[in-house]
């Protein structure tokens, strides 16, 4: 068995500073005293001209994972057909599933129903609203895949934080303060990672995006390195991890690996978050292989689990169509069915806003779907009623459970 070899990448440097901790009203005097003292911040290494020297084994591993992603993308399109009205909604739910997994890496957990309710603005769950913001960031990443520059990164971040109360002023802007990854809110001392001083961020990001735009590197290796470098720079006050994983999808789309849909790569990373975070630490120490390996493993998982998810969801759509058998072809319920994949919880307002239905048509479609057993009304209200497709919700929750069990 071939020994695991490092993939050399320039290690970060550090510079010493002195930190004076201030009491946040929650810390003890001892904690404030311990928080004051010398610390080191990161000086990121330029990577615009970095060319990884992979062993044959490393190259083969990364290329096999890239091929798996490409096969999944083709499979999703072929299974539904490029003209199938369910392909767009299927891509949407895969994007939403991926956004939820990316958020869960940051301990933001939300079930399929709460997320679906948040999509129609009918939830009090803060986590659900935060994940919906992550959906917007992921969508921005895909929309901007043909223009990978600093402006596109800032747009992704703006979409991410714009929906988080209290963070609006930070949305779409590089940070002006120091950030760190650690347990203390008042001091960087003892942190796992202390980001670069804020004045270093613009230059480091310009260098990163020059690396991202290169066309001479293996895609998965380039994507893993770019992701790790963004996490090293930590350019934002909040949302760095989610923005970094959105960048992964922008690059996969831009480089042609996923042309039609979204592969659940973050779900693969979620299986072993400790290994993922350790890989980011190894990258900063000068070894890029652990993060390339983590992204490769996550990509293979995404291809396998994503295909199963597509099959399960396509099966739910097929069953819904069977339940509507005998309904006249012109009935409005037929046009709703493909959209249930992306929106398993709907109301009349959704049909008006998204499908252009009149009030009468929307109510008729909901009645047709409920009478056929496709939808169930679960709000119990006389007004502002909400219907859900229980089979699709069950498929999405089962997908999340499989990740946790893996």
The closest alpha carbon to 6, from 338, 380, 285, 366, belongs to 285
Length of the chain: 406
Pairing mode, strands 376-377 and 387-388: antiparallel
Q: How far is CA 360 from the centre of its chain?
A: 37
Digit-coded pLDDT (tens) for 319-337: 999 999 999 999 999 999 9
- Quickly tell me which residue has 């949305």 as its tokens: 171
Beta-carbon-side half-sphere exposure of residue 131 (alpha carbons within 13 Å) = 33
Decide if pLDDT at 289 tops 80: yes
Whole-number Å distance between alpha carbons of 229 and 279: 12
- Quickly tell me which residue has 């069990």 as its tokens: 405
| Residue-level pLDDT at 1 | 44
Digit-coded pLDDT (tens) for 186-220: 999 999 999 999 999 999 999 999 999 999 999 99
Instruction: Indicate the pLDDT class of residue 87, thresholds 50, 70 and 90.
Output: low
Contacts made by residues 208-211, CB under 8 angstroms, sequence distance 24+: 208/47, 208/48, 208/233, 209/148, 209/149, 209/150, 209/153, 210/48, 211/47, 211/48, 211/50
Instruction: Indicate the pLDDT class of residue 90, thresholds 50, 70 and 90.
Output: low
C-beta of residue 229 within 8 angstroms of C-beta of residue 245: no
Decide if pLDDT at 174 tops 60: yes
Average pLDDT (271-297) is: 97
**Between 27 and 91, residue with greater pLDDT:** 27
Domains and CATH numbers, the chain: 13-308 (1.10.3290.10), 321-405 (1.10.10.10)
Sign of CA dihedral 87, 92, 96, 99: positive
Decide if pLDDT at 137 tops 90: no
C-beta of residue 96 within 8 angstroms of C-beta of residue 264: no
**Between 131 and 33, residue with greater pLDDT:** 33
Digit-coded pLDDT (tens) for 246-262: 999 999 999 999 988 88
């Amino acid at each position: 068995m071939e020994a695991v070899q490092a993939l050399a990448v320039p290690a970060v440097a550090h510079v010493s500073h002195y930190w004076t901790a201030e009491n946040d009203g929650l810390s003890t005097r001892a904690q404030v005293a311990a928080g004051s003292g010398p610390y080191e911040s990161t000086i990121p290494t330029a990577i615009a001209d970095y060319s990884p020297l992979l062993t044959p084994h490393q190259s083969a591993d990364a290329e096999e994972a890239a091929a798996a992603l490409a096969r999944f993308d083709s499979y999703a399109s072929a299974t539904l057909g490029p003209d199938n009205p369910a392909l767009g909604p299927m891509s949407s739910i895969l994007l939403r599933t991926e956004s939820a997994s990316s958020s869960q890496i940051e301990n933001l957990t939300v079930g399929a129903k709460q997320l679906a309710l948040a999509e129609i603005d009918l939830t009090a769950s803060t986590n659900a609203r935060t994940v919906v913001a992550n959906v917007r960031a992921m969508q921005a990443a895909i929309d901007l895949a043909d223009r990978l520059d600093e402006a596109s990164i800032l747009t992704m971040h703006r979409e991410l934080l714009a929906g988080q109360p209290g963070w609006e002023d930070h949305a779409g802007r590089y940070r002006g303060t120091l950030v760190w990854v650690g347990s203390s809110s008042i001091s960087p001392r003892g942190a796992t990672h202390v980001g670069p001083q804020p004045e270093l961020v613009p230059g480091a990001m310009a260098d990163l995006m020059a690396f991202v735009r290169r066309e001479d590197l293996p895609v998965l290796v380039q994507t893993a390195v770019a992701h790790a470098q963004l996490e090293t720079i930590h350019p934002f006050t909040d949302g760095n991890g989610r923005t970094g994983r959105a960048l992964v999808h922008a690059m996969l789309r831009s480089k042609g690996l996923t042309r039609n849909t979204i592969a659940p790569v973050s779900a693969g990373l979620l299986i072993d978050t400790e290994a993922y975070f350790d890989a980011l630490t190894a990258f900063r120490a000068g070894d890029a292989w652990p993060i390339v390996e983590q992204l490769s493993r996550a990509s293979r998982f995404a291809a396998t689990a994503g295909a199963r998810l597509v099959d399960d969801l396509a099966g739910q759509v097929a069953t819904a169509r069977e339940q509507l058998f005998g309904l006249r072809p012109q009935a409005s319920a037929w046009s709703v069915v493909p959209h249930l994949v992306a929106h398993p919880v709907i109301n009349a307002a959704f049909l008006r806003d998204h499908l252009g239905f009149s009030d009468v048509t929307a109510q008729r479609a909901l009645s047709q779907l409920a009478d056929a057993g496709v939808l169930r009304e679960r709000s119990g209200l006389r007004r502002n009623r909400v219907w859900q497709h229980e089979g699709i919700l069950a498929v999405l929750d089962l997908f999340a459970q499989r990740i946790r069990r893996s």
